[in-house]
Amino acid sequence: MKKLVMMACVLLVVSVLAGCGNSSNAGENGEVYVFNWGEYIDPATLDMFEEETGIKVVYDEFETNEIMYPRVAAGASKYDVICPSDYMIHKMIANDMLQEINFDHIPNAKANIGAQYYEQAKEFDPNNSYCVPYCWGTVGILYNKTMVSDPVTSWSILWNEKYKDNILMQDSVRDAFMVALKLNGFSMNSLNEEELQIAKNSLIEQAPLVQAKVVDQVRDKMIGGEAALGVIYSGEAIFTQRENPDLEYVIPEEGTNVWIDGWVIPKNAPNVENAEKFIDFMCRDDIALLNFMYITYASPNTGAKALIDDDELRASKMDYLDEETREELEEFVDIVRDSQIAFPDLSQYDNLETFIYLGEDGDALYNQLWKEVNSAYGE
Amino acid sequence: MSKKLLSVPYLFWSALFIIVPLLMVFYYGLTDKSGAFTLANIAAIASPEHSKALWAAVRLSLISTVICLLLAYPLAMILCNMKVNHSSFTVVIFILPMWMNFLLRTLAWQSLLEKTGVINSILGALHLPPLQIINTSNAVILGMVYNFLPFMVLPIYNVLVKIDANITNAARDLGANEVQTFFKVILPLSVPGMISGITMVFVPALTTFVISNILGGGKILLIGNVIEQEFTQAYNWNLGSGLSIVLMLFIIFNMVITAVTDKDGEVSIL
């Protein structure tokens, strides 16, 4: 009996190893190395891409721009496509790490991505030559209606003693300083030392009220009712509302960050042609819609918006979906069609900004101040 | 000759993964961004944020080490006094959680301790006051003790089982009572195991950044967190390496104490 069990174990291990061996083979048309945010793509679209093009996708994830950058800059791992945010794209352009994208090879990027998003992207990519917008959104306050009695209209509610130990802040330097700078009426790209000191002091003053500093976890914590207020990306807000209807998302009146995450191709990309095919595929209207449904971050893809608005077009174009996915899609479309979070009317705000790269000295200054803030958190 | 050949893979391994990385840490730690020699990265430990983080780490890891020692010693004695069959079973039970990933175990504590977590739901159902330690240094200490306790139990257990029963019998023969036997015979004989356990708990606790991050809610800044952030977020490898060197000095200091106390080299890790 013992021998049988042993044999079974050995067989299992061998078959698992053999399985690994097979899957690590390159696709018939080579590979594409993709480096993207965590949970920022529908895995089904990757399978579809592999099937349609015969290109194998090797997919890695990162949690923040700051974690992504050293891995790419050190050159330890070579990627073909990366999806950083605005200011990080700006920084990579400034440090000569990106190559210009040949838009002739990516027809869907020309046809489907809305002109206003390219316009917004000019703040960090002045000639629109390095980046194809993939997702965009705002940063705001997510609050639990059952736990917050005051009207939530301003960043200042995150400094309200009443919500001590019920506030979640973002654990990344630029987002945290954005909140404090905007609260004090400054630009979130400020390099003015005096303004930054004021912002730093605001954050230190806030520290005792904060329950935790988190990145991705804000979503789960807010859904679970762990905290009353959290600073969150608009895309996460749609997801959390779907899970917990008590949650509401607000763009504070002092203004906020309009961010864009976009596909870029690094200079040292080994498979540029496959990278272009990958970006083109992700810009296809139906693929963009599937990704929008999966990650709930707003898509700049006008084709996807057209599919949302036009039931017949959607039905004919996406007839390849299985029943279950189609039902899920219909449900999702009903939610987001008129959603102010997914498609906000931003014309009422005149204080929205997009992050830009602040240069090496600017980064160093922010990091130093951030360290002083972090140091104030411990008891 | 053949014996030397056998050691080649090990030498190759240690050169590649121990010596070279160490040299790189020293290179980065002793240079600035332009590559010029500087001691500024080492001296940076004196800045208020860094020294506060270092002392916080020393404080928390010392507390955890003491708690581990107090918990582990009686446990090791109980294990020793068990019948052979029982004791090996209990040791396995004890090591069992270590087969699971360290990160998962720590994340599990997070969902146990959260405000709306498992423990507080049970306490709430029993109309007891909630346990509010998540995102505080107490939660970090709990995580350290939980994760590193086996590293304290096993060396002490190893030393205790090796103590010859004749020695304790002789002590009794000569008129020592239980308490005297323990303090005058068993405890001194088990010092090497304790020292080894202390090192094996104190060093990983001092350098951890994962436990403080997950259970401290990003609010407990230990020296490990500072170093991690210099590498991953601030992209200042020079400063990160400089602070690592300071931390290494602390650990070497600890090792020296171990070496002096543990002259017989009796203590094995497992």
Interface contact B49-A173, CB threshold 8 A: no
Test A379 with B114 for CB contact under 8 angstroms. no
Residue B27: inside a domain, yes or no?
no
Question: Is any Cβ of chain B less than 8 angstroms from the Cβ of A212?
Answer: yes
CA distances from A252 to A233, A352, B95 (A): 13, 10, 51
> Nearest chain A Cα to B215, which residue?
A212
ipTM reported for the complex, 2 dp? 0.85
Domains of chain A: 28-136+259-336 (3.40.190.10), 138-257+345-377 (3.40.190.10)
* Secondary structure element (H or E) that encloses residue A247, with its range: strand A247-250
Distance of CA A314 to the CA centre of its chain: 25
Mean of pLDDT values over A7-15: 45
B132 within a domain of the structure (yes/no): yes
pLDDT > 60? residue B182: yes
Mutation for B interface: A144, A164, A379, most B CBs within 10 A: A379
Of A172, A212, A225, Cβ closest to residue B219: A212
Does the pLDDT value for residue A7 go beyond 50?
Answer: no
Global pTM reads: 0.85
For residue A175, the distance in angstroms to the closest alpha carbon of chain B comes to 13
Count: domains in chain B: 1
Residue B14 falls inside a structural domain: no
Contact residues on chain B for A171, CB-CB shorter than 8 A: 218
- Region A250-271: mean pLDDT is 94
Read off φ and ψ for residue A340, nearest 5 degrees: -75, -20
Q: Which two tokens stand for residue A237?
A: 């807000």
Q: Do B136 and A379 touch (CB under 8 A)?
A: yes
DSSP characters over A295-336: H-PPP-BHHHHHHHH-HHHHHHHTTTS-HHHHHHHHHHHHHH
Whether B224 has a pLDDT exceeding 70, the answer reads yes
Question: pLDDT at position A25, please?
Answer: 54
B116–A379 CB contact, under 8 Å? no
When pLDDT is averaged across residues B80-96 and rounded to a whole number, the result is: 79
Q: What is the mean pLDDT of chain B?
A: 89
Instruction: Go through A141-172 and write b for each residue having 16 or more CB atoms within 10 A of its CB, e for each that does not.
Output: bbbbeeebeeebebbebbbbeebeebbbbbbb
Higher pLDDT, A242 or B144: B144
The answer, for A208 touching chain B at a CB cutoff of 8 Å, is no
The whole-angstrom distance between B6's CA and the closest CA on chain A is 28
B interface test, pick of A95, A371, A372, A379 with most B CB neighbours within 10 Å: A371
Q: What percent of chain A has pLDDT over 90?
A: 75
% of chain B beyond a pLDDT of 70: 96
Measure the CA dihedral A108/A111/A116/A117, to 10°. Answer: 0
Domain interval for residue B214: 49-261
Does any CB of chain B come closer than 8 Å to the CB of residue A359? no
Q: Across the interface, do B233 and A67 touch by the CB < 8 Å criterion? A: yes
State pLDDT tens for residues A18-33.
444 444 456 788 999 9
Other CB atoms within 10 A of residue A352 CB: 15
Residue B147 counted as domain residue: yes
pLDDT tens-digit readout, A297-316: 999 999 999 999 999 999 99
How does residue A172 score in pLDDT terms, banded at 50, 70 and 90? confident
Residue A4 has pLDDT above 60, yes or no: no
Q: Who has greater pLDDT, A240 or B265?
A: A240
Categorize the per-residue pLDDT at A212 as very low, low, confident or very high, splitting at 50, 70 and 90.
very high
CB contact under 8 Å between A213 and B217, yes or no, is yes
Q: What is the CATH number of the domain that holds B145?
A: 1.10.3720.10
* Residue B16 included in any domain: no
